[in-house]
Amino acid sequence: MLEIREATASDLERIWPIFQAIAAAGNTYAYPPDVTKSEGEHLWMALPRKTFVAVDSGELLGTFYLKTNQAGQGAHVCNCGYMVASAARGRGVATAMCEHSLRVARDLGYEAMQFDFVASTNEGAVRLWQKLGFEIVGRLPGAFKHPAQGNVDALVMYQRLTDRD
Amino acid sequence: MLEIREATASDLERIWPIFQAIAAAGNTYAYPPDVTKSEGEHLWMALPRKTFVAVDSGELLGTFYLKTNQAGQGAHVCNCGYMVASAARGRGVATAMCEHSLRVARDLGYEAMQFDFVASTNEGAVRLWQKLGFEIVGRLPGAFKHPAQGNVDALVMYQRLTDRD
């Protein structure tokens, strides 16, 4: 039974191996591949407005953050990032976390959620976000330097959370 | 004769009134309208990689910053922001600054320049960036909360700086 709850400082020890592995692989996120633990903590747990973990039977399977994407006139749009432990992929953890994040975003009054920089080669993620209501609203030519495939496009994905125009 | 040079700490006193007026107007940038001077200095002069000023006969007419837009796999794309003093608009200051920024970006080895969040209502700017080689590569529905027009689209604009795909 997957439980999703806000992260506490003591979760860092279990978030960090997931974060480090995904940053080091360098094929999905634009974090420095050699990011340090304290930088990782800053980026994932300090800068965002909220950070969550997905836990099953005491095992930490995934994590996500939610933050305001722009200040001022853009502050009604939030941004999230999600990471799943490699051993837990294919078990619906990302879906559960994204659905949870959309509920949290609505509860916090955000009017939309935006993903700024989705590697177009990350096709599983792109399909999943589309299934969960996101649209591709932008394509940045060659903006993601994939470690194996060279410069590939990055996508901007977006979902309104209100009916209002 | 317009001179464009890197900003120094002592330029803050002349940059701040421009920054404050544009942030307070809230119709072009996603800065908090009530931003403080020290926050403005941080956002415009400390966080970016470089900050420049455009000066004519000792008068500071405009300013821009250049920064790396994403870390890691996105670090080959830069981002710039430009501000022109209200009294100096229509004199080609923005064009001169943007052209200068494109040269600096190439010199620094960036492969592309991206504007993340151009209010679609800022039609003069959109036309100018297009004239200077930028394309609209994304449209964020209702992502800019215009003080007079309500939620309007924000545009993502992009220009490659190399011939490479």
B12-38 pLDDT, tens digit each: 999 999 999 999 999 999 999 999 999
A40-53 pLDDT, tens digit each: 999 999 999 999 99
Contact residues, chain B, for A139 at CB < 8 Å: 137-138
Does residue A163 belong to the interface with chain B, where contact is any CB pair within 8 Å?
no
**Chain-chain contact of A112 with B142 (C-beta, under 8 angstroms):** yes
**Chain-chain contact of B145 with A70 (C-beta, under 8 angstroms):** no
Contact residues, chain B, for A164 at CB < 8 Å: 142, 151
Question: Helix or strand or coil: residue A165?
Answer: coil
**Chain-chain contact of A73 with B147 (C-beta, under 8 angstroms):** yes
What kind and span of H or E run contains A99?
helix A93-107
The DSSP result for B81-130, as a single string, is: EEEE-GGGTTSSHHHHHHHHHHHHHHHTT-SEEEEEEEETT-HHHHHHHH
Q: Quote the CA–CA distance of B65 and B85 in Å, as a whole number.
A: 15
pTM: 0.95
Q: Quote the CA–CA distance of A152 and A146 in Å, as a whole number.
A: 6
The residues in A 96-155 lying below 8 A from B, measured between CB atoms, are 111-112, 114, 116-117, 119, 137-147, 151, 154
Q: Please report, as a single letter, which amino acid is at residue A15.
A: I
Q: Average pLDDT, whole number, for chain B? A: 96
A142 closest CA partner among B110, B132, B129: B110
User: What is the rounded end-to-end Cα distance, in angstroms, of chain B?
Assistant: 38
B40-77 pLDDT, tens digit each: 999 999 999 999 999 999 999 999 999 999 999 999 99
Q: Which residue stretches of chain A have pLDDT < 70?
A: 164-165
Nearest CA-CA distance, residue A154 and chain B, Å: 9
Pure H helices in B5-90: 12-25, 37-41
Q: Tell me, what's the pLDDT at B60?
A: 97
Q: Tell me, what's the pLDDT at A148?
A: 96
Both tokens of residue A39?
Answer: 């930088």
Tell me how many residue pairs between chain A and chain B have CB atoms under 8 A apart. 124
B81-116 pLDDT, tens digit each: 999 999 999 999 999 999 999 999 999 999 999 999
Contact residues, chain B, for A160 at CB < 8 Å: 141-142
